A and B are shown apart, each in its own frame.
Chain A
Amino acid sequence: MSTPVKVPVPIDDDIPVTGMRGALKAPIVLGVVTMLVSLLVALKSRQGDTTFRLATDTDLFELPEITVPSTPSVTTIVILLALCTVASAFLVSRGRRTPLWLVALFSVLAMTGFLCWAAAGAAVPVIGLLGGSIALAVPLVFGALGGVLGERAGVVNIAIDGQLLFGAFAAAMFGTIVGSPWGGLAAAMCAGALVALVLSFFAITYFVDQVIVGVVLNVLVIGLTSFLFGQILAENPEGLNSPPHFERIPIPLLGEVPVIGPVLFRQTILVYLMYFAVFAVAWALYRTRWGLRVRAVGEHPKAADTVGIKVNRTRYTTMLIAGLVAGAGGATYTLVSVPQFGEEMTDGAGYIALAAVIFGRWDPVRATLAALLFGFATNLSGVLSVIGSPVPSQFMLMLPYVVTIIAVAGLVGHSRAPAADGIAYRKG
């Protein structure tokens, strides 16, 4: 990630857990995951060694490969996982919360254990796994940032998927016409903003239910892009649907740092833009006058009105900016690896971005982490099927969603939306 952004504690970090139910969730989830991993070893023990490849061929300093025997390693890890669970249960029994570092340690251990087991007799390309995760997460992160902005201002944005899809379409078409990926990116951002404008018009000016408008917009964009694709792009793929794409740009020095370099700093400009966007949104939201007013409008529009803030104007501008950000995410689909547009190519990613907004607790940095988690799970299923894991492919396709559910149910505590989220503001 880019420079860690120091932000003021978001809304509800320190709400004490008075009831037992909230605090008990962590040890229970940890226990269930420990059981699952131990079941893997118990039911289907795997022979052979697992290799973790930590370097790419072009590294300046090459880290050695790490090879471990599969079954003993997994067994050791299961024991460690069990210890973590006991520690968490102990803390909770003493009336304390499970600390975040313990959860993080547990997650890394569990993932390593699972990889040791799944990739027995093969090599895990760690760099490819992590770097690919980031690339896959880019549209989700942009979409989630757009969602965070809108909802912090009090407008629920279900139409993130529509913004991504329309952005992807605009990027492909205008990128091809202009002959530059930058032109495509600009078009994608405008397309996202256009969807946002329509949403705002109905939601803010005409008080239409925001969820309904959002859903309708998603369907509308699917229909529109499919129609235009079939009628125009498919007729002339060279002239309209083969945009130039962004190349990978390794950053000097940073790109040479072992592991981190190839994962974070040998990416396309869109990824670097994403780093900047996360930082910029977090800074703007928590540290600037604009951000204070946006949050005020999303929490208590009437109070904002009584201190002279134009509520609906603030909501409009925030939604437009959010649309620009989400639209940029759409460009990732058509301006990076496969430079061409396909029908419904976002595959519902906007809804995952929306989920990331919610279990990122309406905070840009947390929402980004949530989106990265989903990107990781998606990429993991791909990598594992390539190296030949014993897990059935249907299950691998479920993996991203299973990981998401566990993360939401078990590790994200009580969350609270901006108080006026989804409620149109009428004066008087």
Chain B
Amino acid sequence: MTLELRGITKRFGPLVANDRISLTVEEGEIHALLGENGAGKSTLMNVLYGLYQADEGEIVLDGVPMTFAGPGDAMAAGIGMVHQHFMLIPVFTVAENVMLGNESTGFAGKLDIDAARERVREISARFGFDVDPDALIETLPVGVQQRVEIIKALSRDARVLVFDEPTAVLTPQETDELMAIMRQLKESGTSIVFISHKLREVRAIADRITVIRRGAVVGESSPTATNAELAALMVGRPVELTVHKDPAKPGADALVVRDLQVTDATGHVHLDSISFSIATGEVLGVAGVQGNGQTELTEALLGLQAHVKGSIELDGHQLVGRSVRKVLDAGVGFIPEDRQADGLVEDFTLAENLMLNRSHGKPFVRFGTIRRKMLETFASEKLVEYDVRARGIESTAGQLSGGNQQKVVVARELSRDLRLLVAAQPTRGVDVGSIEFIHKQVVATRDSGVPVLLVSTELDEIAALSDRIMVLYRGKVIGIVPADTPRETLGLMMAGERPEGVVA
């Protein structure tokens, strides 16, 4: 099926999310939609899928203009979508999820669950998936959940399949498998729209590439283009893709973690006796697929976890059992993985956000009163120093873009004397320009002699910044390896395998 989008425009109030976007996807073609977070890719796909109505423009399938009042119409027309955040119901089985909205029924609306099971098995067999129709979604690994999404779309005879950032949650191996599946789908005549901001993947799989920036198409490209060319198109200026840094000059071990165990209230073990150390002037990268204990590790370091056993020593002082306040006072800086939930108060001004970690006393509070003049001077300086694009220090954090919000968090954490920096997903959902800036700040922090713990699910980021890499899998350390370890080896380790020669 040939899909054509003609002059799609979508506005949210004064914001133009999609500005006269046109693109064509031929039958049996993988067409990549490349753009930064917030460029308007997802909005465009939501228009295509009937979740939003376009203000202008039309959707044409095989030459016939269509109007979609809702996702039901889009599906009926043969458009399927594999969502970035899976649209699966965790407490339902695979078969129930696949049949939902498209149920075959018997007497009085009685569900024909056997038919749904059969459909799951049939499609699984066709693509070599190993999916149990009676498994509960919440018990399945994300890679399998994604296959359920694919099965769901195919069970409705989708002939145009949209993959929205499908690799964000996958291991490198799972990503390779997904690409194989996409090629197989393409062979069978399905048209595929592949949305991504990852240059490597786009070049590996796409037949054609359309680049979107600030809601408009800025160019078409072919997979033979170089990373630098694509990145420049995507960002609108030449971009430094590699991080320049001098070799580390590690000193003595500053952070020493021994037999750290973290459990939750129900007794489930999230970190299982892990031990590692970080020297001054060194970045330890923590790699792993999301949800393998990284969140618990960073929170345990800060004192945010309730059930912690083992020892965390910073410069010889025990941190386990201390309050968060005392841990911060010991010189720990923390860039949390979810800046909107944990990093900022969105309704506070930038100035207020910049003093959040020092709200109890010096230098911003004297006799229980905030020293406004001093705070304003400090905040204005930091906005300039950290290149935060905002109207002023009285703007609220919620008004900023993701990249600028993150720069506010980084500014706050780095503008005091640190003994340790814990950076969890510091560039998630951040534009390329801000990524460059934040990476430079992390390296500068290291060079000033501060040990850095960097958690990231982006292997490229880990490889670019780390001096050593620790791989976490199901709460255990699979190994701590040098920064120049090949991607493939790291990928295997992220899937829980310990290659020869690697010591845990």
Contacts and interface: CB of A to CB of B under 8 A. Distances in A.
Given A289-B105, A289-B109, A307-B101, 8 more contacts: A287-B111, A288-B105, A288-B110, A300-B87, A303-B88, A307-B152, A308-B73, A419-B91
Nearest to B264: A19
23 contacts: A17-B266, A19-B266, A288-B109, A289-B111, A292-B99, A296-B89, A296-B100, A299-B89, A303-B86, A304-B100, A305-B71, A306-B51, A306-B81, A306-B83, A307-B87, A307-B101, A307-B102, A307-B152, A308-B71, A419-B90, A419-B91, A427-B51, A428-B51
B386 interface: no
B109 A299 contact: no
Interface string B115-138: 000000000000000000000000
B107 to A, nearest CB: 10
B91 A303 contact: no
A308 B110 contact: no
A21 B100 contact: no
A22 interface: yes
Given A19-B265, A22-B266, A303-B87, A287 B101 contact: no
Interface residues of A, number: 30
Contacts of B458: none
Contacts of A303: 86-89, 100
Contact of B92 (A288, A289, A299): A299
B267 A293 contact: no
A309 B52 contact: no
B96 interface: yes
A414 B265 CA distance: 12
Contacts of A427: 51
B70 interface: yes
A306 B49 contact: yes
A290 B70 CA distance: 19
Contact of A287 (B86, B90, B91, B110): B110
B267 A292 contact: no
B91 A11 contact: yes
Contacts of B267: 17-21
A96 interface: no
B101 A293 contact: yes
B373 interface: no
Interface residues of B, number: 36
Contact of A309 (B46, B91, B100): B100
A299 B266 CA distance: 22
Nearest to A284: B109
Contacts of A21: 267
A308 B266 contact: no
A300 B89 contact: yes
Interface residues of B: mostly helix, strand, loop or mixed? loop
A411 to B, nearest CB: 18
Nearest to B87: A303
A302 interface: yes
B72 interface: yes
A92 to B, nearest CB: 13
Nearest to A298: B89
Contacts of B46: 428
Nearest to A420: B89
B111 A292 contact: yes
B52 A306 contact: no
A288 B267 CA distance: 37
Contacts of A310: 70
Contact of A299 (B71, B90, B99): B90
Interface in A279-321: 287-290, 292-293, 295-296, 299-300, 302-310
A264 to B, nearest CB: 26
Interface string A98-139: 000000000000000000000000000000000000000000
B465 interface: no
Interface in A394-428: 414, 419, 427-428
B193 to A, nearest CB: 16
B108 interface: yes
Interface in B269-328: none
A45 B185 CA distance: 80
B268 interface: yes
B75 interface: yes
A292 B89 CA distance: 11
Given A11-B91, A19-B265, A293-B101, A305 B51 contact: yes
Contacts of A22: 266
A18 B267 CA distance: 5
A288 B108 contact: yes
A304 B51 CA distance: 12
Nearest to B266: A19
Contact of B100 (A17, A290, A293, A419): A293
Contacts of A307: 71-72, 75, 87, 100-102, 152
Contacts of B266: 17-19, 22, 414
A389 to B, nearest CB: 42
A289 B89 contact: no
Contacts of B49: 306
A288 B89 contact: no
Contacts of B86: 303
B217 to A, nearest CB: 23
Contacts of B101: 293, 304, 307-309
B220 interface: no
Q: Which of A19, A293, A303 has the most CB of B within 10 A?
A: A303
B139 to A, nearest CB: 10
